[in-house]
Chain A
Amino acid sequence: EVQLQQSGAELVKPGASVKLSCKTSGYTFSNYYMSWLKQMPGQNIEWIGNIYGGNGGTGYNQKFKGKATLTVDKSSSTAYMDLSSLTSEDSAVYFCAMGGYWGQGTLVTVSS
């Protein structure tokens, strides 16, 4: 069974960075792309970017270049997303997704 288990909720201060994780199981991590998405209340879901599990090759939504950095650790079948220089506009639920499978989401709250 494919599972994507995301890290827990984060409360971070403005200007700080945060690293989210998405630990996978049940499929061959190296053979698939992992996408990351952002959902803010009342707004469209946004695709942030994706990363190939095999070689770490990435593609980004232009809007999130410089904000998000995607990496993978093949040894643990885990994908990561770093979010930098956080502002209130980064407060959202972030999902990882592979094909039709989604993680449960991580709530990031940016507040002083």
Chain B
Amino acid sequence: DIQMTQSPSFLSATVGDRVTINCKASQNINKYLNWYQQKLGEAPKRLIYNTNSLQTGIPSRFSGSGSGTDYTLTISSLQPEDVATYFCLQHNSGYTFGAGTKLELK
């Protein structure tokens, strides 16, 4: 089974900051990597699919990059409404989620 190691677990940042969240797979996942945002009490929302494709309706400040085993979600300029937990999901072989990154405002 493919394991996903997500970092950091917790992140505190200021409005306007550039924020990056990382996921490392235990083996090559061929860019089959999605990113999700989950706010308290809500279902996860897909932000990015297949490493760098932006889901319709998601602000362009969200972007994804990576290849092989290493992937990154970047928020170019943090907004107050971005406070949430972020998860990665690999779907190259089965489906495995990262443990999540809780993002809050400093």
Contact = CB atoms under 8 A, between A and B. Distances in A.
Interface residues of B, number: 16
Nearest to A49: B95
Q: How large is the interface on A (under 10, 10 to 19, 20 to 34, 35 or more residues)?
A: 10 to 19
Contacts, number: 32
A44 B99 contact: yes
Interface in A88-112: 95, 99-100, 102-105
B43 A45 contact: no
A74 B46 CA distance: 26
B contact patch SS: loop
A47 B43 contact: no
A40 B16 CA distance: 32
Interface in A5-19: none
B18 interface: no
Contacts of B45: 100, 102
Interface string B86-104: 0101000011111110000
B94 A47 contact: yes
Contacts of B98: 44
A105 B94 contact: no
Interface in A42-63: 44-47, 61
Interface of B: 42-46, 49, 55, 87, 89, 94-100
29 contacts: A35-B95, A44-B97, A44-B98, A44-B99, A44-B100, A45-B44, A45-B89, A45-B97, A46-B97, A47-B94, A47-B95, A47-B96, A47-B97, A61-B94, A61-B95, A95-B43, A95-B44, A99-B46, A100-B45, A100-B46, A100-B49, A100-B55, A102-B43, A102-B44, A102-B45, A102-B46, A104-B42, A104-B43, A105-B43
Interface of A: 35, 44-47, 61, 95, 99-100, 102-105
